[in-house]
Amino acid sequence: MLGLLTIAWRNVWRNRRRTLISMSAIGLGLALVIIYSGLIARMMGDAKEQLDNAGLGHLEITAKGWRANRSPKLAIDDLDGVVASLPLPPSAEVSARLLSRGLLSSARANQAVEVHGVDWGQERAVALYLREVRQGAVPADDDAQGILVGEQLAERMHLKVGHKLRLMVQRADGEMGAALFRVRGIFHALSPSIGQRRVLISRAAAAELLGADRGAHQIVVQLERAADAAPVAATVRAKLGAELEVLTYAQIYPIFEAMESLVNGAIVVASVFVYFLVGLGILNTMLMSVLERTREFGVMQALGTRPGGVVRLIIAESFWIATLSVVLGLAIGVGVSWVGSRTALLDFSRQMGEGIEFSGAVLSAVFHTELSVRGVLLPALYVYVMALVVALYPAWRVSRLRPVDALRAT
Amino acid sequence: MPAVEVIEVKRHYQAGATTVRAVDGVSLTVEKGEFMAIAGPSGSGKTTLLNLIGALDEPTSGTIRIDGVDLAGLSRRQVADLRRDKVGFVFQAYNLIPVLTAAENAEYVLELQRVPRVERRKRISQLFTELGIGDLVDAWPGKMSGGQQQRVAVARAIAALPAVVLADEPTANLDQVTGQALVDMMHRLNHEHGVTFIFSTHDPMVLEKAERVVRLVDGKIASDQRKGETARQIAAEAPAAR
């Protein structure tokens, strides 16, 4: 004759309309969870990518106390020795910076700026905007007068490639220092604040300007995965000792962690809500289906079906409803997520500009989705778990019926 | 060993403040191969007695043995297994499972008994041919007439060769001709294969065919008559017997 699953499959299609409505509701709920989770996962991924966009890195190494008062005197003197001794994975990128605040003056305007003295090659690996030079080019390594400015700053100060600028800073010895530079390139940064405040010169030029040795105020380390930051930081900290301070991006910008737990919480709440509705849907379908077949279950018991056999049949029916719903939910959820991973699913750039800056993190105003095996399979698995759990109640109810009572049911 | 032994069985239940004595001290022995009818007016306890014999209901007191197995003290699972292996049912409303074809319905008990598929198919095919429904193997219950459904129900009841087949008003939903044909068929199965049948009925045609008729009145056996014998008035004899 037939296996349990075949009988259950036929039972599921006895009321075609009810089954279709249930599987549509459950499937759409599942699709919603997949798409929503994918959007959030991509948003978080994008937010972490901002570490690269903003040149923040996953780890920061500074002289002890530098982050608290940013004194130009607090530099890492033995830079080469420190960098060489860093216990980092081979894929890690490292860039050393001399940092200062200064005043940038052109013939027509003045603007307060953050000065980054960098080694162009290394900096390019940790700061995305150095790969986004839209006009001109990154200065050559031996170009002591080359300066890069952001698009917003260039616009505000009416700067073009080749324009001459005067940069004034406070030197390490407390005196004012100034030097002339020439705009070699204009970069594009997703973060408007970087675009309008940051200027980059070579580290050698910065050392000269600041009256410092060729050390660095900050060593930035970019890892392959943001999740590795804490363990790598612990190893580096142990190696370097107390004279140098090692911080992870999460310690410097707690907003990333806060955002992550906030959105994870939002996913949990939304998922619980959706799965609750999914559970109600399955329970309703199963209860209606089971209660209108009470007499039939009585017949099955009269013929010798054990109580466990009835329970298994009802669970098998629930399994099929879950499977149909999961197939529909995956088709819609994966389909939309796939499209969303290639083209923008939501685009607020007209209303909000290219990026939305939020306490140091910059989120793209164009939303994509992330399609991952885990992000698809886990929600589907939860539908099965929910289907199994809610089927137990009607199954238990029917299995407790005495055959004589079940047979009397109309 | 008798197919069925019923000893001083009572089934009482409460209906509001009233105690209904649906079956009230019935004792009965049905030997293997009997073709017996339980007769009586509506409410006399026929169906209740049949449900008790079929282990679908539990007696308030008394002993029931099916093929030598005492039903008292069996777990729900053991009772289910007993029904599967020793009792066949034919219901008034046929009660075929609508998602199974005729053959699948008839095979249901054999599948529960884990009889191999090839053997099941062979047995059902022979049975269907014998019952004159060989062309209904793949028919769905919803597409069959009442008489056809009841024949499939009989096939389902006897397929696993139970100790006893219980038929609750099997002809009640059938017209005279179809009912007659069904009873003839069951009678033939009884004669040729020794299948034990117990009917509840008040259909005169069925009673005429029965080789033994037990009449119930108010939950008690009023008479127990075998074909060719005069009716034995149990109720009248009862005080003396006790």
Provide the pLDDT confidence category of residue A51 given band limits of 50, 70 and 90: low
Q: Is the pLDDT of residue B237 over 60?
A: no
Choose among A299, A305, A404: nearest Cβ to B80.
A305
Other C-beta atoms closer than 10 Å to the C-beta of A87 total 11
Q: Is the pLDDT of residue B236 over 50?
A: no
What is the residue-averaged pLDDT of chain B?
Answer: 91
**pLDDT digit string, tens, across residues A125-156:** 888 888 889 999 999 988 999 999 999 999 99
A307 touching B (Cβ < 8 Å): yes
**pLDDT digit string, tens, across residues A265-291:** 888 888 888 888 888 888 888 898 888
Cβ contact, residue pair A1, B57, below 8 Å: no
pLDDT at A403: 93
Cβ contact, residue pair A1, B51, below 8 Å: no
Pairs of residues, one from chain A and one from chain B, whose beta carbons lie less than 8 Å apart: 72
Q: B82, B167, B155: which is closest to B120 by C-alpha?
A: B155
A346 touching B (Cβ < 8 Å): no
Q: Which structure tokens are listed for A153?
A: 């700053």
Contact A88, A242 (CB under 8 A): no
Residues of A in contact with B100 (CB under 8 A): 1-2, 7, 10
Which DSSP symbol is given to B113? T
Average pLDDT over residues A15-37: 92
Choose among A10, A304, A402: nearest Cβ to B84.
A304
Amino acid occupying residue B25 = G
A16 touching B (Cβ < 8 Å): no
Rounded Cα distance between A269 and A303, Å, is 47
Selected residue of A13, A293, A306 to mutate for chain B interface (largest B Cβ count, 10 A): A306
Q: Is the pLDDT of residue B47 over 80?
A: yes
Cβ contact, residue pair B84, A403, below 8 Å: no
Q: Which of residues 64-93 of A touch B (CB under 8 A)?
A: none
Cβ contact, residue pair B98, A14, below 8 Å: yes
Q: Is the pLDDT of residue A89 over 70?
A: yes
Contact B47, B202 (CB under 8 A): no
Q: Could you tell me which chain B residue has the CA closest to the CA of A304?
A: B84
């608290």: which residue's tokens? A68
Q: Is the pLDDT of residue A121 over 70?
A: yes
Phi-psi region of B8 (alpha: psi -120 to 50; beta: other; left: phi over 0): left
Selected residue of A300, A303, A320, A400 to mutate for chain B interface (largest B Cβ count, 10 A): A303
Cβ contact, residue pair B77, A306, below 8 Å: yes
> If interface means Cβ-Cβ distance under 8 Å, which residues of chain B face chain A?
51, 54, 56-57, 76-77, 80-81, 83-85, 89, 91, 95, 97-100, 103-104, 107-113, 117, 120, 156
A134-148, A346-360, B219-233: the lowest-pLDDT one: A346-360
Of A258 and A395, the structure prediction assigns the larger pLDDT to A395
A39 touching B (Cβ < 8 Å): no
Residues of A in contact with B120 (CB under 8 A): 1
Rounded Cα distance between B32 and B1, Å, is 8
| β A93-105/A164-170 pair status | antiparallel
pLDDT at B241: 38
Selected residue of B82, B96, B112 to mutate for chain A interface (largest A Cβ count, 10 A): B112
- Residue A13, min C-alpha distance to chain B (Å): 9
pLDDT at A348: 82
**pLDDT digit string, tens, across residues A190-236:** 778 888 899 999 999 999 999 877 789 999 998 888 778 899 999 99
Cβ contact, residue pair B80, A404, below 8 Å: no
Cβ contact, residue pair B117, A300, below 8 Å: no
Q: Is the pLDDT of residue B242 over 60?
A: no
Choose among B51, B81, B104: nearest Cβ to A304.
B81
- Residue A298, min C-alpha distance to chain B (Å): 9
Residues of A in contact with B80 (CB under 8 A): 301, 304-307
Q: Could you tell me which chain A residue has the CA closest to the CA of B113?
A: A304
Residues A166-177: b if buried by 16+ CB within 10 A, e if exposed: ebbbbbbeeeeb
Instruction: Report the percent of chain A where pLDDT is more than 70.
Output: 95
Selected residue of A12, A295, A297, A299 to mutate for chain B interface (largest B Cβ count, 10 A): A299
**pLDDT digit string, tens, across residues A310-340:** 999 999 999 999 999 999 999 999 999 999 9
Choose among A10, A296, A307: nearest Cβ to B77.
A307
Selected residue of B56, B101, B122 to mutate for chain A interface (largest A Cβ count, 10 A): B56
Residues of A in contact with B155 (CB under 8 A): none
**pLDDT digit string, tens, across residues B51-89:** 999 999 999 999 999 999 999 989 999 999 999 999 999
Rounded Cα distance between A25 and A30, Å, is 9
Q: Is the pLDDT of residue B46 over 80?
A: yes
What is the residue-averaged pLDDT of chain A?
Answer: 88
Q: Which structure tokens are listed for B141?
A: 């219950």
pLDDT at A1: 46
User: Is the Cα torsion angle B225, B228, B229, B230 positive or negative in sign?
Assistant: positive
Residues of A in contact with B110 (CB under 8 A): 1
Cβ contact, residue pair B112, A304, below 8 Å: yes
Cβ contact, residue pair A305, B111, below 8 Å: no
pLDDT at B234: 55
A2-6, A89-93, B132-136: the lowest-pLDDT one: A2-6
Rounded Cα distance between B241 and A19, Å, is 62
- Residue B242, min C-alpha distance to chain A (Å): 32
Residues of B in contact with A305 (CB under 8 A): 80, 84, 112
Contact A123, A200 (CB under 8 A): yes
Rounded Cα distance between B44 and B28, Å, is 16
pLDDT at A190: 76
Domains, chain B, ranges and CATH? 32-55+75-241 (3.40.50.300)
Other C-beta atoms closer than 10 Å to the C-beta of A105 total 16
Q: Is the pLDDT of residue A167 over 60?
A: yes
- Please state the three-class secondary structure of chain A as a single string: CCCHHHHHHHHHCCCHHHHHHHHHHHHHHHHHHHHHHHHHHHHHHHHHHHHHHCCCCCEEEEECCHHHHCCCCCCECCHHHHHHHCCCCCCCEEEEEEEEEEEEECCCCEEEEEEEEECHHHHHHHCHHHHCEEEECCCCCCCCCEEEEEHHHHHHCCCCCCCEEEEEEECCCCCEEEEEEEEEEEECCCCHHHHHHEEEEEHHHHHHHHCCCCCECEEEEECCCHHHHHHHHHHHHHHHCCCEEEEEHHHHCHHHHHHHHHHHHHHHHHHHHHHHHHHHHHHHHHHHHHHCCHHHHHHHHHCCCCHHHHHHHHHHHHHHHHHHHHHHHHHHHHHHHHHHHHCCCEECHHHHCCEEEECCEEEECEECCCCCHHHHHHHHHHHHHHHHHHHHHHHHHHHHCCHHHHHHCC
pLDDT at A409: 81
Rounded Cα distance between B148 and B173, Å, is 12
Choose among A300, A307, A404: nearest Cβ to B56.
A404
